[in-house]
Amino acid sequence: MNSLHDGGHPAGADLPGAGEAPTVPDAALPGEEFLVSGEEPGLGDQDDAPGEDDESLAAASSASLSLAEPADEEQPEDLNTPVLSEVLLAVEELWPDSLAEDWDRVGLVVGRPDADVDRIMFAVDPTLAVIDEALEWGAKLLITHHPLLLKGVNSVAATNGKGQAVHRLIEGGCALLTVHTNGDSAVGGVSDVLADALGLQDVMPLMPATHGLVEEGIGRVGLLEGALTLGDLAARIFLTLPAVAGGVRVAGDRDALVHKVAVCGGAGDSLFDAVRASDADVYVTADLRHHPASEAREASLDGRPYLIDLSHFASEWLWLPAAAQALSNVLADQGFVAELAVSQTNTDPWDFILTPGN
């Protein structure tokens, strides 16, 4: 799998170092060690696009991670390194297990509750490459959005990828924690961060949570500050997301004006009924399959909701810096200190794409 240092945006865009390309703040980069702080995240420059050979991810301002002091400075005496069970309590405060869908498998996968956790890495997928990155950095806890073991298994022998993952984690002394649909549904979750990145206002859930606050649930719908053309909205999203081979696909009139936007980070074609009920002009999600997308277009007389299809990985990566900052704040409030990082491994499965004229 590629590093996120690999590019994917059009030639001609500014290159990092030569222009003002937005980047993940240094605090999110493995190898750059920062202490947890309770400060609010800083907002970076979000005006320009990453280049073809981009050496970092583009992150929405709401997802920017700003951790305070370098690790080589003296640590505050009143803060202690947490053990895993204490980190789990902080995670439960942010992303309660009760918000997870019935079919989902969230929570601790590998790890001893009494183990010290001084370094925590966030990632979308628990792939072998991500695990190697986490172990090389010295992480004692890897928090991933996607589960490693979603379906039942009879063996974790190191004869396949999942078994190798379990063995590498245990042998490397690194715990694994899954925050999946509970991270989607919670306030400040995956779809909230995506909605913030697009500048949506008056945001509400597409599918309210059965056991949660009125602000919690799967997907979000809200209003742009002012109407945009569908093409301009798609470009805004393209320039906000990490560079991936598949780019952004759009169904609809490029010049049509859109104001009300529904979003769902990750695969969202099961929510079309809720999208139609919301009267959204456009639906932004990932992994749109042929038949649901085709049927959605056929069902509308005016072409709405238009569709913007993203990379599953890219749509969810934006949440990672925001999630790391949120966890850093809760840990600091509880008197703990740890170092946090966001994985820079690109776990999008595709490497290149051929298009007409290219």
2 three-state secondary structure: coil
Please list the alpha-helical segments (H only) found in the chain.
Answer: 84-94, 128-137, 161-171, 181-185, 190-197, 230-240, 272-278, 290-298, 312-317, 319-333
Q: Is residue 279 part of a domain?
A: yes
Tell me whether residue 176 is in a domain: no
Pair 169, 142: CB distance under 8 Å: yes
On whether residue 298 sits in a domain, the answer given is yes
Which residue has better confidence, 78 or 343?
A: 343
Which pLDDT value is given to residue 71? 38
Residue 140 is assigned to a structural domain of this protein: no
Q: Average model confidence (pLDDT) for the chain?
A: 82
Q: Which residue has the tokens 């050979």?
A: 53
Band (330; pLDDT cuts 50, 70, 90): very high
Token pair of 49 as six digits? 């696009």
List the one residue out of 258, 267, 270, 247 whose CA is nearest residue 305: 258
- Residues 220 and 283: their CA atoms lie apart, in Å, by 10
What DSSP line would sit under 281-297, residue for residue? SEEEEE---HHHHHHHH
Sequence-separated (6 or more) residues with CB below 8 Å from residue 32: 26, 341
What is the tens place of the pLDDT at every residue in 109-161?
Answer: 999 999 999 999 999 999 999 999 999 999 999 999 999 998 888 888 898 89
Instruction: Report how far Cα 22 is from the mean position of its chain's Cα atoms.
Output: 17
Print the domain residue range for 277.
187-315
Q: Would you state the pLDDT for residue 2?
A: 57
Pairing of strands 306-310, 249-251: antiparallel
pLDDT of residue 300: 80
pLDDT of the residue at 183: 96
> What 3-state class would DSSP assign to 239?
helix
On the question of pLDDT at 64 being above 80, the answer is: no
Is 224 within a domain? yes
Does a structural domain hold residue 296? Answer: yes
Contact 119, 140 (CB under 8 A): yes
Read off the CATH number of the domain in which 258 is found: 3.40.1390.30
What does the chain come to in residues? 358
Tens digits of residue pLDDT in 219-272? 999 999 999 999 999 999 999 999 999 999 999 999 999 999 999 999 999 999
- Please give the Cα distance from 28 to 142 (Å, whole number): 14
Determine, yes or no, domain membership for 34.
no
pLDDT of residue 317: 96
pLDDT tens for 187-221 read 999 999 999 999 999 999 999 998 889 999 999 99
Residue 87 lies in a domain: no
Counted domains in the chain: 1
- 144: number of Cβ within 10 Å: 26
Token readout for 65 is 């991670």
Which of 29-43, 62-76, 263-277 tops mean pLDDT?
A: 263-277
